Every structure is written in structure tokens, then in C-alpha cells.
Structure 1
Amino acid sequence: MRYRVGRWPLVGREGELEEFTAASQDRTCRGFLVYGAAGVGKSRLAEECLERAAADGSRVGRATATAAAGAVPLGAIAHLLPAGVDLGDPVAGFAAVAAQLATGRGEPQRVLLVDDLHLLDPASAVLLRQLMDAGAVRLIGTVRTGEPYGEAVAALTGGDAVRRVDLAVLDPGRTGELLAAALGRPVARHTVHELSAASGGNVLYLRELVLGALAAGDLTEDGEIWQLREGRLPGTARLAEVVGARLAGADPAGRPVLELLALCEPLPLADAESVAAPHAVAALERAGLIRVAQERRRTTVSLAHPLYGEVLRAGLPVLRRRALLLEQVARTEARGARRRGDPLRIATWRLAATGTADPALLTQAAVLARHAHDYARAVALLQAVPEDRHTTATRSLLGDAFFEMGRWAEAETVLARADRLADGERETLAVALVRTTNLLWSNAPVAEALAANDAALARITRPVDRRKLKINEGFIRIAAGLPAQGLALLEDLETDVGDASDVDAWLRGAWMKPAGLALVGRTHEAVVWAERAHAGHRRVDERALASHPAFQRIPLVLALTEAGRPAEARRAGESAYAELVAADSVVRVWLAVLLGRTEWLAGRPATARRWWAEAAALARTFDHAMALRLVLAGLAACAAVQGEPEAAETALAEHRELATPEPGLLSAGEERLGEAWLLAAAGRLGEARSVLLAAARTARATGHVTGEALLLTDVARLGGARQVADRLTGLARVCDGELVPARAQLAHALAADRPERLLRAADACEAVGADLLAAEAATAAAAAWHRAREPRRAAAAARRAATAVARCEGARTPLLTTAGAAAPLTAREREVALLAAVGNASVDIARALTLSVRTVDNHLHRAYAKLGVTTRRELARTLGAEPLTARPQG
């Protein structure tokens, strides 16, 4: 997709536009003014208001006030004045202008937009105010906050007849909406986070950052989502000029403060005042270039915008940079470096200034950085430690930081060396816990992670430490897709981290145990354990060598979803994802995977596709094949039910190119969903059911109880309800949530084809947030009532179905289309009709279904008669199907 540079859409300003509409309808209102800092989008909002006024029939004009025009009386608005008016006498001249611009009864109103009103000359301000008071014009204006202006402009902008709105910067959510609207596709959450943080929500800065990233090829899209290359955020020359001009207006006496903050922010106020006089620091605050914050007895200073630091650093000579950093080190050490984060700050500054620092200080700082989840800084500090000063502990720390950044190969190199050099059982255990996790996440066979764990077990004799490795094995086996085996090893895991002999081992077990419980259908226990693990992790985070505490929300999302509580899963998952994005932790990929799955099960394919696209982009970036295979299948399934077979086939083509790994978490069967739903979209329901049944057998063999229930439910939805209803009932007996029983109820209702039972199934599905299942059940009920010649009941059921369908983001499934046709098609007639509707010839249908061509034509003829159509085009229209341009490969 090629991005075209142009005017950006207006996003996130709905409230302000409503205020303008209200002001336009108020006869007493003469002006509408938009206040805000430079670059927040004042002009864009004002232009939208002017366009709305023009659309309502007003006569419009516009002007821009500038410093140059402000030196000339009426210079900014001269082009708007009637020709031939003598302004030599301002009193008479202004009255003449008002008379000529006045509108008679029934004539359209005159609306003027004046940008940057604060720069307007006094004569223009006085004239505009007179025109407003006379009702000759209505003013739309923009005013930059913090800028001085004279009495005339103050009079123009004051009074009850003028309405004011204050425009704030965009928050991250609105920034994401704007980026998606401007770029035409969703934008990865991490990219939104980076652009929002760098721009500070300033629309002008944001646009220049995007244009710079596009020009550099650092902002790209894969057909589903836009993503910024890791560690890259280039701007444009215009951005540097705009920010540079803002900084150039600062008092020269305060320049050293700005330079020091660019390298070392935030700083104590006393340090800022040590390089510039207090009045110079105060002047910087008045100019909006720095922020001063008070927290208890501590006052800190920081730059007012992230880009100020970027521009200042780019202009600092090397020796000036070195001097500033070392002077700040000296100031901090002179105070005794008593604050907890001082070693991290000092080490970072020394390293930036000289390229080296004391190894003990570097190590201490790296520990602080790791526990703050600043993995990139931890790596930089540890890589600066001389090789002969590294220990097993520092190598484990470095390997762990590499893992969190998704740098699997580098992590394995460091950790394998640490394992060889480990001295004693304690060091062996510490390395094993980190190394097995890295192996598990990389594309290495699961057997390698288990072998590394067994090798450590063979070297350890203390029972308490051997038990930690058994917990670690349980973690590995559940993550590898063997929940029953893993749960057996975690059965006696302490219920609280405070009772554990090792917090790192406990956190691993407590992370994966609720995932295993959810997969075997013990969802209530899973939710309790996930909440317990999260709370425990928060308590010990500052001393645990484990991922961010938010990663404990990953199994919670899975457990809540399988319990039939998708709304809660959504809230918990989205909040945790924001935390993991801010920490830049690669483990967020699995949270995106599970949030996509939650939305898929809720019947929201567009939102599911958005999450799975994010997970796919992240998995490609870090070469995480286990997650990528799963999300590509999900992307294909979403595209298929959205009527986009080409996109589905593209995802499946990439899926087929990946090397087949051993089964992993959720991949036991569910990775065939895309294949099945693309076949279903093509009308090949029998083949789709065969794929799903084979996938369900895989899930059953590996103990994925809830996964098997998901797959069998889809078999029922695609015409195989009688085949799977009893098995679903059996699964419902071993699952303690409400989701699987609702699925079993749906399958039995579809098998019986009884409208009352179908509506009860719709109720059950709706109660667990499965809106698409509820819509299909209600649609099938409407068709059944129609066949029973009960039009009122059929209409009521159809209305019920329509309400549910409206929540399903345009999903199109065979059950919705064929049942919605409200005709008594048999299962075989429905299958033949769907295949014909998407463009298959009778001979191809016969081959696919192992029937004769004559039998196919007979089925098709009966379907035509029942549906009241005579051509395949009419058949496609009736069933809501579209011809396929890409054929699934069965």
C-alpha cells in the first residue's frame, strides 16, 4: 500500500466540533476561537469548522495573521475588505465596511477564519470586532496559548459573544486513531506508543515524524498493519527547523540548562540552577521549554517536549557533551549518590561520556536497569563490562535481557557460556531457569529446552533445588502444548510467592499453571491462580529475574475467555498490553495472540484480525515461529469470514512456508482454523469439517480440552452438528465454565433443528459473550419458524439475529447465509448451493463432493426452486456469497 502525503483527517476533536455546531446555531454568538499550543491542530480544526459553515450555505473567507503583516495596519485582512472603501477616516471607513458586508434578510451569513489572531495588528482587531458586533461577520479564529497580544486583540477575543475552546494534545488512544485514519490501516500498538511519546501528542510533530519514517523506509505495512522498525524514529528537516526555532527563542542564559537536560533529564532543580541563574531557569519555564515538578520535598526539572532533547543532542559537539555529562556525575557524587537510581544514572552518564566505567558500578547499574525492565540499557551496561570481569550472574543477567528483547541467538550464546562456566549448583540452577525459557521461545525444538533442564538436574543434588527444576519442567511442558503433563509437575506448587523457596522458579510455575488449567477446562481455578500470580509478582518484582508483572495477565486472558467472560478478558488484556508495550517486552506477542483469540470467540473478526496482525508483525520481527503459525491461521480465518479470500490465502501461503514445529501452547489443532474457514467460505463444507475433525483429534490427543471444544463447535456450525453434539456434551461435563456447555447446547439445537431450542441456545451463547454463535442460532431459528409457517415468530427471531449480527463486525458464515435464506434446504442442498454460488462449475462440485454431475445438478435445481432463483448470480445474491478470486488448497 502506497501512502499519499496530504491533509490529515480530523480525529479526536468531535467534542470541539459539536461546540462549533452549537455556537453556529446560537444567534448571539459572534465568534468561535480555538486556543492551544503550537502544532496541536488548531488550524486543522478551524478549517473543518469553516468547511462546515460553507456546507451550511455561509459565505466564507480566510486570512492568516503574521508578524510581518502585523506591522501594517489592516495588513492581514486587507484582501477581505470591499474595494473602494476609504479607510483614511477609520470611524467612517469602518462603518462603510460594515454596511457593505452586512447581509440582508434571507441572505447567507458571512464567516471569516483568521489564523493566529494573537499576531493581528490593532486596526484589524478593532475592525473585526466592529463587524462582529454589527452582525456583519461571524469569526472563527485560532490563538496560540502563552503568546502576548495587545489590548485590541484582547477586546476582539473577549466578551460573552465569543466562545472559546482549548485544544489539548492528543492522548495515545486518539493518536492511534489518527494514525490509522491517515495511513489507511491499523498501526501496531508499539508504533503508536513510540510516535505518541516522541510527538507528545502534538499533531504537527506527529505528522513530520511519520513523513520522516515513511521516507526512510522505517515505517512499513505488511498488508494488515503498519509497524515502525525497532529503534528507528527519523523526522524531517522541517521538524528540526520547527523545533529548533522554538528553542532558539530561549534566553541565552538558560541554554546550558536545556543542554544539560537533553543529556541527563530529569534533574533536581538545584542542579539546573547550578548551571544558570534562578531567573534564567524561571524564564525557561515561562517560555514553556521546561517543566518543573514538585513531589514531596523534591523538585525536579525536565524538558517540556521529548523532541527538544533530540534536537539539542544533535547540535551538541562531542567535547561539550562530555563536559556536561562528567560535570553532572561530579555533582551527583558530591551529594553522596544516595538515591536508589543514582548508580544507574552515574554509570549511564560515564559510559556516554567516556565509553567506560567501573565494572562494579556497571554491574550494579545493570541490575537496577533490569529490575526497572529497561532491557536495552541493561544490555548496553553489561556489554561494557570487560570480559575478564564477567561472572555467571552477569552473564545470566545479560542473557535474560537479550531474551526480553527477542534476541534469542545472542541470549543462547551468552547463556551457554554461562552454563559451561557455572561454579556450583546454585549458579547452574540460575542459568538453567533463564536458558530453558530462551530455548522455549526461540525456534529450537522443545526437546532442547527439556534436555537443558535435565542436564541441570543431573548436576544438582539438593532436593529443594531439584524441585525448582521440576517446576521449570512443568512450565516447559505446558508451554509446549502438553498441559496435563505440566500440571502434574506443578500440582504441589505453593499458593503464594511468599511461601516459595525461590521466587523466580515460583513465578515460572505460577505463570504457566493457570494456562494449563484453562486448557484442560478448570477455568475457575485458572482465574484464581492467574490473579494470585499477578499479585505475587507485583510484590517481588524488584528482586525477581522474570518478565514484567503484566505478563502474568496472559494466562488470565486465556482463563477468562474459556470461562465465558470475554469482556473481562478484554479489559485485563488491553491494560496489560499497554504496560508491556511501554516496557518494550517481547512477551507481549502472546498477549496479542490471546486477545485476538478472545475476539474471535466473541464473534468480532475485525478486532481479532487487528490483534493477530499485531502479533504476526511482532513475531516476524523477532522470528518467533510458534506464535507466527498460530496467528497466521487466525488471520486467514478472520479474512475468510469477512469475505476476503485473497487475504486469507495470502496468510495461509505464509503459514505453509513455515517449518512445522512441535505442538505448542494453543497450536494443537487451532492452527488449522484458517484452512477450515477458507474452505467453508468457498462452500466446501465437507472438506472444512474434515479439517476441523482432524484438528480436534490432535487437540484431544494432547489434552487441549477447551481447544477441542472450540474446533468441534465449528464442525457443528458447518453442518456436522449431529456428528459432534454428544462429544461436546461430554466435554461440557469436564469443563467448569459456561462457554463449553453453551457450545454443546448449540450443537444439539442445530442437530435437532428445533426453533425453541435454537433460541435457548442463542440465549446461552449470548450470556457467554459469543455473539456470532448467538446470531447463527437465532438465524437458524428464524429459518425453522419460517419453514413451520410461523411468520411472526420467524420475524421475531430474525430481529433477534440482526441485533446479534450487528455486533459481529460484518462476519459472514455459511450458517448465517443459508439459514438466512429462510428456505428448507437440506444439508447437501446447502453445500451444493454454496459451492455454486461462489463460482464452481457442476463438474468441480461433483469432484469435490464425490458425487455425479447429474446428482449435483438435481440438488442445485431443487435449491433454485426452494429459493425462488433461476441463475447462479441470483443464487449468490440470495446467499450473500461472492465469487472467489483465490482458491483454497485443500
Structure 2
Amino acid sequence: MGVFNPASRWPLVARDAELAAFGGQWSAPGFRGCVLRGPAGVGKTRLAEEYLARAARDGYRTGRARATAGAGTVPLGAIAHLIPATVDLSDPVAGFPRVAAALAGPGRDRRWAFLVDDLHLLDATSAVLLRQLLETRTVRLIATVRNGEPVSEAVRALCAAEGVRGSELAELDRAQVAEVLEAALGGRVGRRTVRDLHAASGGNVLYLRELVTGALAAGTLAGDGQIWELNRSRPGGTPKLAELMAARLSAADRAGRPVLELLALCGTLSLADARAVAPPEVLAGLEDGGLVEVGTDRRRTTVEFQHPLYGEAVRAELPALRRRALLLGQIARVEAYGARRREDVLNLATWRLGAHGTADPALLLRAATLARHVRDYEHVVLLLRPLGDADHTARSLLLLGEAQFELGDSAQAEETLVRAAGPAATTAERLDIAFARTLNLFWAANDAAAALAVNAAARTELTGADEQRMLRVNEGALQAASGGPARSLELLADLDPDPRQSPNPSVWLMGAMMKPVALAVTGRAEEAVEFAGRAYDLHRRLEEQSLLFAPIGHLITRTLALAEAGRLAEARATGHRAWEADGHDRNPVTWIWLAFHQARTEWLAGHVEPAQRWFAEMVSACRAHRIHRGMRLGLAGLAACAALTGDTAAAESIGREAAAYPPSDFRAGEDRLGEAWLHAARGHLAEARRTLAEAAAAARATGDLASEGLLLTDLARLGAAEQAADRLARIARACDGALAPARAALAAALAAGDPEALMGVSGELEAAGADLLAAEAASAAGAAWTRTGHTRRAAGAARRSAACAARCGAVHTPLLAPVRTAAALTAREREIALLAAGGSTSKDIAAALRLSVRTVDNHLQNIYRSLGVPGRRQLARVLGGADRPWPARTR
């Protein structure tokens, strides 16, 4: 990852469309200039500078000027330095043609491009001269104009001159902000960080830069070597950004200041409330000045800041007494209306806390309940934290504990939920508390045994039929994600078809969320896809209830099921839909597992770079919230991706960190993928195969057929197809969907060395979206055909392999070896060649493969003859590509 230098210029990225359009205009007949329009800070000047640089590369001489308010009072004040000193301009009528002649030169062969920044401030004389230079084709103009600024008639005429094209430069969208951030920071940037910085900056490049600079200085934006992430704090920016905001806000009429202050405290105002502190003409002036915008929310007309940073700037300057007075006035207005809207209770409680530091406990509890309904957990904690012990009830403590869990504070959540059990008076409250505790202990604290113990204790205490049924569902959900999928399906067998018939919809929804997991990993992936889709639809109908979970949880488990069914493109799209859904980031646990299943989908596809990005985001979220469940799985995936892309140093470092966490009970065995592929990357294929065999046995012990199938497939890919084929065939017979049968067919074809079968399974794997496996199957077919002299068919297989591998990025695996090399060596010779190319001595190779040193040396001599090399030194070069220990890569 790179190191950001605040003093350096940001790279120009995310403006490909504008650069392409300029290139087309520049070469078009009759083109004389372009004018870039847009708001301040959007990047007009930076783009115009690139246009000027392109003109220079095309052979144009260049000049640059910046118009200012001061220079605008002096004729030719801004562009005087661009005019040849020998020209007498005392008579403009005669002088202006002389300027054109002097610039064109004696042979009239000089071509000029002038950049004029802030053209709207240019004096009239300069504008007239520039227009004449355009008309005589002496100069081409590149100019910037800031939106919302007054423009003189002369400048307007210049912009409208024949051959001058105008274009509007908009703020960056989220994808463009991601591109800019990654170029500036020199590495991947997390999706949540991109979203937060895009929202805070509004896509304004200048604001974005200052926010990044401020966050780096404050330590709230940091990289871990894999990805840059913001912590949960809002980016604060720099003094320069504060000055920019103050300058923009200073344009407001004094009478409009109360509206801006009230907006800063309340976020959004009804038009009626805004008019209560400022007359309509003042509001219109604020809107015309680009400070506020008026919109509609259903039948309500609202006023809010045009840019989110304006509110922060105004709040920073508000004295405490002024804040209090404004909030009390707004409270009085809303109460006078009768506080009829749902959000009024939440707003009143928040404003009272802001004005007095306290509020009526009943009001705070009502407001916290509403905040929980919209999953605004930070607000729940803010509202309930001021309550004293005497004011808390079982319900308020439950709300607080749930919010603390949702925010990733597992230790505090457990303490609060244990406290809640004291005043709990009803079985419904005790059930809710037990359920919340199991969630926190299992998902945040990574203590499955403790979670199951709490559930078992509740089953002893709560003996009613409804409570027993809900606790059975809860245990089934826990078993699905802790290595007991078969037991999970037993417990969830009679799960109600409709949560509306359940005494506790939240418990039902957790069971419905996890049942597809148990179905998918035990081979019933298509059934899991259908169940998860139905549960998602049912959940969405319950959104008016105050539920603990968002419906996107079902999209996450549907992603898992689609991937196991071999519908990888659908899985990827479903995960993206979950990411785009509102509320995905309110709970770090939800975000962690969304990232994991997206990463795993990409891993199954062989798309290593996006898999690496998702694994990095998962691990970053685990670290930030001190959540250990899933950490080893995420690190293992990250290490495996690093190994496949040649970064063995990173893979080793990440692997050491992964080993510090206990083995995963969910997707058991997959937490050793990084270890196995690191061995393979170093050429230690026997060690890689041993690791994978042990990992597959661990998966089999939990009943996870899907993970076992993945690990056995990797075992086959690394040279033990005969060992894996029979078990993969049995797994395929037990599983639905396309992926398991295709894996079994791959192992059988590799074991038989059958090129026809390998090409057939390559097509099956490609249809499922498993591009890397498809590429490897075709590569192996090409090697087999080369050995038998079928060069034309081998070439076709190589082309197919290359096409599939191209979708996987720069990855290296033994089966992707160049066809000539793969065909020339036996499997044993290739393994010895890999070790020798990695620097292992004959003695080391003999020990690793349980051979004699003489046997190893004999094999090496045959390898040298087959590949046409004189010795070890040339071996790594000739092996090339992927059929050697991957080349070391630095980040």
C-alpha cells in the first residue's frame, strides 16, 4: 500500500469520459475552445490542466492565466503576461490584430492553447481580445467557470463564440470517489469508507481531499497493509476545509443565519418550521445561493443543507446557550403541532437531551424504541445511557444491550443483558433476554458453548410450549453456524411457514435465516435458495414491526446457497443487492458475514482480486469491532489469495496471525486454505496435499459436504486426484446443484488423464461461473493432448484456458502451467522441479518426498533434458508462469 502525501497532487482519475470527449472535440473541424463549468472544488482546474498538457503534447505552445476579482478591475490585467511585450495596445483597434500576428509568428505557423481559470472574473477587454484570437484561429481556449457566479456580457459572448464547446463537470459519484481514493492512497479502500467519504464530501474533489487529509492526521483513516478504512468517527477535515465552509456560508444573508443554525442542530426542517425563523424571501435567497435545498418527503415540504459539511461548520461555531435556545424553540413548535409524526417522539427526546442533558425517562424509552425500529443503534445508546438505575426497566436494558451488541460492544452488551434479567417480570421478557444474550455470546464474543449454555438454561426455566419451541429454533440457528448442520435441521424441521404465527418473530427469523445455511452445506443448496428467498419476502412484510434483524440477512444466506448450487453469477448479484440495501452496515456482525460470503463467492469463481478485497474488508471489520467469530476464516482466505497472486511474504504473515485464533467450527477446514496454498506457492505440494486432506477430514466430521468438496477439489488440483475422486463422487451424489457434480467430474478426469473429459468439465465449470477451475481443466487437457502429439487440439485447449484464466487476474496454480512444460514432465518430475526452482537442495527434496538423494538427482537430470536447460539456475526461468514457486511480489 502507498503512503498518502498531503502536499502532493492527486492523480487525475475517474474523468475518463471527460478526457475522451475532449480528445474528440480537439480534433474536430471548427473547434476553437472549451469551457468547463461546475461548482467550486469539483476539479475543473485539474481537468483543464490535463487538457492543456494534451494540447502541448500535440505541439501547441501553451499559456495560462487566472482571472481574479482584483485583476478584473484592470483592462487585460489577468492576461497581460500572455501578450507579446513588443505589441503596442494603446489603440486596441489596431493593437489586437498585432497581438494575433505576434503570437502566430513570422511564418504564421505557431499554434497556441490558453488556459484561463475562473473565466467568469475576466475583465471585458481581455474577453474581447480572446474572442478575436479565437476567430483568427491564433489561439484555442481552455477555460473554467464556477457555477452560480455573475458573468459579464463580454465573457458570455466569448463562451458563446463559434466553435467554443461548453461542458458541465459534475461531482464524482461513489464509484469515481473509490477510484480517486485508491489512486491517492495507493491501495484498496473499504466500501463503507468510500460510502462515508462520498456522503461527507458530496463527491466534491476538493472537499474529499481535505477530509482524507484530516482523517489521516487524526488517525481515523488507516491502512492495515490490505485495505484503508475509516473508524466509526465521521471524517473531520482540516482547517482549510473549515475556511472553505466558512467562506461559502458567509454569503448567507444575516437574516438567514437562524435557519442555518436550526438546520445544523435538527438536520431537516419542515418548511413551516423554517419559515418560523426566517421569511420566505430569505429562504429563497439561501436556496438560490446553493446553501439549502427544498424537497418533498411524501406530502411534507422539507428544507435541508445542500451539502452535509455546511451543518458541521455551523455547529462548530454555535455557543452552548444559543444551541439551547434554538432547540427549546423547536421543541415548543413541534409540541404545539401535537407531535403527530412518528419521528417527532425521537426528535423531541434528542432535542431535550441536547438542550437540558436529560429528559423524561418514559419519553426516552419511547424514543429509543423508535430508534431501534429503524435500526439506529447509536441513537438507542445515546437515548438510554442517561437513565439512572432507578429509571431502567427490563425492556430499557434489553434495548440497550441489543444496541450494544449491534454496535460490536460484546462485553458491555453481556453485562447489560445480565442486568436486564433482574427486573424481568414476564416470560416474554425472559425469552427476549435469553435470545439477545445467545446472539451476543455467539456472534460477537465467539463463544458458542456459552451461547448454547444460556439457551439450555432458558429451556429449563421457561417451560411453556411456545417458549420451548422458540428456544429449540434458537438452538437450531446456533447449530447451523457452529458445525452442527444435521442437528440444526432436526431442530428446525417444523419451523412455522409464516413468522406471523410465531410468538416471537425475531427468534423465528433467526431460525429462518440460518436454516438455508444448514441445508446448503449438507447438499440441499437448491432447496436452501428457495427457502431463503421465501423467508426474505415474508420478512419484508413484517418491516412495520420492531424487529431485531434487517431482511438483508436472508439475502446473505441466499448468497451462500446460490454459490453452493453453482450459480455464482446470481450469488454475486444477490450479495451486491444486500450491500446496496439500507441498514447493511448498522451491525458489524451483518457486515462481516456479508463480506465473507461475497469473498467466498469470488474465491469459488477464481476471481482472486475481488475475493481478496472482500476478505480484507471482513478482517478489517473484525479487528475494528474486536469480533473474533469469523476472523480465522477471513485471514485464511486473505492468505490464500495472497499466495495465489505471488505475495508469499504477505501470505506467511497473515497465516501467522490466523494461527493465533481457534479453529473455526463454521466451514471447518476452510480455515486452513491459506496454509495449504502457501505450501503450494513455495512448491511444497506434498505438504499442501497433507494439509488439505486433514482440512477435508475436519469438514467431513461436521457434516459440511460443501466445504469438504471444496477442499478435496483443491487436493485434486494439487496432484492427488486419485485420492480425492471417489469421495467427491459420493459427495456429488448427495448434493443438488451444478457445482458438486462438476467438481467430481474434474477430479475423475484429472485422475484418468482424459483430455476429452477435461474439456467437457471445463465447459460445465465455466457455465457455473467457476472460471479458474475451468481454466485449469482446459490447461490439463492441453497438456494431455500435447503428450500424445495432438498439437492442434492442445492449442485449442490452451486458448480456452487462457480465456477463462483472463477473468481470474494474475493468479498462479500448478495446473495453469504452460502446456509445453506440463506435457514434458511427469507429475513427480514437476513436483521435484517446483521444489528445485524454489531453492530446495536435493537433500531437502529427498526428505520432503521420502526419496533417496540419488533418485532426486536422477529425476533432476531427466528434467533438465526434457526442458532443455543446463541446470538449476535456469530451471525457474524455463518453468515460467505458474508452474513454479510463484514469483515474490511486493505490495
> TM bucket by the smaller chain?
over 0.9
Query: Normalising by the residue count of structure 1, what TM-score does the alignment of the two structures yield?
Result: 0.97
8-17 or 759-768: bigger deviation: 8-17
Q: Distance in 2 between matches of 1:158 and 1:66?
A: 21
Aligned equivalent of 2:4:
3
Q: Distance in 1 between matches of 2:50 and 2:572?
A: 35
Q: Distance in 1 between matches of 2:789 and 2:536?
A: 55
Say whether the 8 Å CA contact 1:554–1:573 is kept in structure 2: yes
Q: Distance in 2 between matches of 1:774 and 1:238?
A: 53
Q: Distance in 2 between matches of 1:301 and 1:314?
A: 20
Partner letter of residue 641 of structure 1?
L
Q: Distance in 1 between matches of 2:584 and 2:771?
A: 32
Give the Å deviation of 1:105: 7.9
Cα separation, partners in 2 of 1:48 and 1:383, compared to 1, 3 Å: same
Determine which of 16, 35, 43 is the counterpart of 2:37: 35
Cα separation, partners in 2 of 1:621 and 1:749, compared to 1, 3 Å: same
Say whether the 8 Å CA contact 1:518–1:559 is kept in structure 2: yes
45-54 or 404-413: bigger deviation: 45-54
Aligned equivalent of 2:256:
254
439-448 or 753-762: bigger deviation: 439-448
Give the Å deviation of 1:711: 0.3
- 1:29-68 to structure 2, matched below 5 A, reads 29-68=31-70
Q: Distance in 2 between matches of 1:106 and 1:850?
A: 83
Aligned equivalent of 1:878:
878
Q: Distance in 1 between matches of 2:503 and 2:185?
A: 51
Q: Distance in 2 between matches of 1:582 and 1:687?
A: 40
Determine which of 82, 87, 108 is the counterpart of 1:85: 87
Q: Distance in 1 between matches of 2:375 and 2:111?
A: 59
SS across alignment from 1:341: helix
Give the Å deviation of 1:312: 0.3
Cα separation, partners in 2 of 1:472 and 1:160, compared to 1, 3 Å: farther
- Deviation sequence 1:387-418 (CA, Å, 0-9, x none): 21211111111111111111101110001111
Corresponding position: 1:630 with 2:605: no
402-411 or 288-297: bigger deviation: 288-297
Give the Å deviation of 1:726: 1.3
Q: Distance in 2 between matches of 1:701 and 1:754?
A: 32
Q: Distance in 2 between matches of 1:410 and 1:712?
A: 42
Aligned equivalent of 2:341:
339
Cα separation, partners in 2 of 1:123 and 1:450, compared to 1, 3 Å: same
- Deviation sequence 1:620-658 (CA, Å, 0-9, x none): 111222211001101110011101100100100111222
Aligned equivalent of 1:670:
670
810-819 or 310-319: bigger deviation: 810-819
Partner letter of residue 300 of structure 1?
T
- 1:148-297 to structure 2, matched below 5 A, reads 148-297=150-299
Corresponding position: 1:860 with 2:860: yes
Cα separation, partners in 2 of 1:385 and 1:81, compared to 1, 3 Å: same
Corresponding position: 1:615 with 2:618: yes
- 1:655-734 to structure 2, matched below 5 A, reads 655-658=658-661, 660-661=662-663, 663-666=664-667, 668-734=668-734
Say whether the 8 Å CA contact 1:291–1:303 is kept in structure 2: yes
- Deviation sequence 1:193-219 (CA, Å, 0-9, x none): 211111111110000000011112221
Partner letter of residue 627 of structure 1?
G
Give the Å deviation of 1:542: 3.2
Aligned equivalent of 1:516:
518
Q: How many pairs were matched up? A: 884
Q: Distance in 2 between matches of 1:397 and 1:820?
A: 66
SS across alignment from 1:138: strand
RMSD across aligned positions (CA): 1.7
Say whether the 8 Å CA contact 1:254–1:281 is kept in structure 2: yes
Aligned equivalent of 2:832:
832
Q: Distance in 1 between matches of 2:456 and 2:584?
A: 35
Give the Å deviation of 1:543: 1.5
Partner letter of residue 590 of structure 1?
W
- Deviation sequence 1:712-763 (CA, Å, 0-9, x none): 0000000000111111111111111100111111111111112111111111
Q: Distance in 1 between matches of 2:344 and 2:154?
A: 52
574-583 or 91-100: bigger deviation: 574-583
Partner letter of residue 715 of structure 2?
V
Say whether the 8 Å CA contact 2:649–2:888 is kept in structure 1: yes
SS across alignment from 1:114: strand
Partner letter of residue 478 of structure 2?
I
SS across alignment from 1:292: strand
Task: Mark the runs of 5 or more structure 1 residues left unpaired by the alignment.
Answer: none
Say whether the 8 Å CA contact 1:779–1:820 is kept in structure 2: no
Q: Distance in 1 between matches of 2:285 and 2:324?
A: 26
* Displacement over 6 Å in runs of 4+: 103-106, 882-887
Give the Å deviation of 1:232: 4.3
Say whether the 8 Å CA contact 1:175–1:201 is kept in structure 2: yes
Give the Å deviation of 1:495: 2.3
Say whether the 8 Å CA contact 2:401–2:413 is kept in structure 1: yes
- Deviation sequence 1:694-721 (CA, Å, 0-9, x none): 1111111101011000000000000000
Q: Distance in 2 between matches of 1:739 and 1:108?
A: 66
Q: Distance in 2 between matches of 1:582 and 1:303?
A: 25
Q: Distance in 2 between matches of 1:516 and 1:53?
A: 62
Q: Distance in 2 between matches of 1:734 and 1:105?
A: 85
Aligned equivalent of 1:438:
440
Q: Distance in 1 between matches of 2:490 and 2:179?
A: 46
Q: Distance in 1 between matches of 2:105 and 2:439?
A: 76
Aligned equivalent of 1:786:
786
Say whether the 8 Å CA contact 1:303–1:309 is kept in structure 2: yes
Q: Distance in 2 between matches of 1:672 and 1:770?
A: 21
SS across alignment from 2:398: helix
Q: Distance in 2 between matches of 1:560 and 1:109?
A: 61
- Deviation sequence 1:785-807 (CA, Å, 0-9, x none): 11111111111111111111111
Q: Distance in 2 between matches of 1:818 and 1:544?
A: 59
Q: Distance in 1 between matches of 2:208 and 2:844?
A: 53
Say whether the 8 Å CA contact 2:829–2:863 is kept in structure 1: yes
539-548 or 688-697: bigger deviation: 539-548
Say whether the 8 Å CA contact 2:3–2:185 is kept in structure 1: no
Q: Distance in 1 between matches of 2:109 and 2:577?
A: 54
Aligned equivalent of 1:401:
403
Q: Identity of paired residues, percent?
A: 56
Cα separation, partners in 2 of 1:119 and 1:390, compared to 1, 3 Å: same
Cα separation, partners in 2 of 1:107 and 1:491, compared to 1, 3 Å: farther
SS across alignment from 1:67: coil
